[in-house]
Amino acid sequence: MSFNNEHENQDKWQNDPDNWIWGIFYYNPEDSRLFPPKRIKQLGWTINFANPNSVFLIIVIIAIAFIFS
């Protein structure tokens, strides 16, 4: 898959309302990115909740923050 085609798919997934639960949680099993951009890209990134690696990483970060607070 070429870079342009991959980028087009990512933009298409990003703009598809079916990939957003309640409009704020990104859930797309086809997207391998851990942290895709938010719907409004200027606001940063979000978690792809369909990717188990990203969910695991967030749980680890929260656990570390909880332990050291």
Section 8-12 average pLDDT: 84
Domain residue spans in the chain? Answer: 3-67
pLDDT of residue 4: 65
Question: Which pLDDT does position 22 carry in this prediction?
Answer: 93
pLDDT for 56 equals 95
- The DSSP bridge partners found for residue 40 are none
Q: Is 56:34 a contact under the CB 8 Å cutoff?
A: no
Residue in the structure block whose two tokens are 């851990």: 34
* Overall pTM > 0.85: no
- DSSP of the chain, one letter per residue? --HHHHHHHHHHHHH-GGGEETTTEE--TT---SSPBPSSGGG-B--BTT-HHHHHHHHHHHHHHHHT-
pLDDT tens-place string over residues 15-46: 888 999 998 999 999 999 999 998 888 899 99
pLDDT score at 26: 94
